[in-house]
Amino acid sequence: MSKGNIYIVSGPSGVGKGTVVKKVVEQNEQIVLSVSATTREPRAGEVDKVHYFFMTKEDFGRIVDEDGFLEHAVYCGNCYGTPKKAVLDKVEEGFDVILEIDIQGGLQILDKLPEAMGIFVLPPSYKELEKRLRGRQSESDDVVAKRLDAAKAEIKQSYLYDYFVVNDTVEHAVKSIKNIIESNRS
């Protein structure tokens, strides 16, 4: 059995990368989604080792000290990271692993693992990204403005990724990512 590949999927908030990645994983048994670790408490319905690896801050810190994360960060007082062993074990088993992650974490991983491939998901236009963010109706105008500013900065760094996928429609973006993965298998 041949080894799998690692794909880092990043893009600005509101671009639809979560929806696209979910469909890619659902449509191929040889592709798995990486599960992150966190120190936050599980939310209702979340299952350990399915939604996250839930752990104490002490355990998280020990894993950081042992270089056991491909990337890690603190967000809103909680620690988040991508467990190295879980990802590399799946790759050794022949699975392609997708890490849906922000650009900072993605670039950390691409720096540590040059064999990993970066896929940056872009909106069809800045105006469409704004429409999608406002369409969520879950955030204030200030938060939307901050996300749009962050998107501009993230898109400026997208050249550091190997592939670009425009999410004009979910179906098109899914097909594009599946084609990238298939081309790297052969």
Task: Parse the chain into domains and list their residue ranges.
Answer: 6-185
Average pLDDT value over all residues in the chain: 92
How, if at all, do strands 96-100 and 31-33 pair?
A: parallel
Q: What is the CATH number of domain 6-185?
A: 3.40.50.300
pLDDT at residue 28 in the model: 94
Mean pLDDT calculated for residue range 51-70: 95
Provide the 10 A C-beta neighbour count for residue 81.
22
Checking 148-155 for CB contacts under 8 A at 24+ apart, the result is 150/12, 150/13, 151/12, 151/13, 151/14, 151/15, 151/123, 151/126, 152/126, 154/10, 154/11, 154/12, 154/103, 155/12, 155/122
Residue pLDDT, tens place only, 61-99? 999 999 999 999 887 788 999 999 999 999 999 999 999
Among the ranges given (38-47, 72-81, 118-127, 157-166), the one the predictor scored with the smallest mean pLDDT: 72-81
C-beta of residue 10 within 8 angstroms of C-beta of residue 120: yes
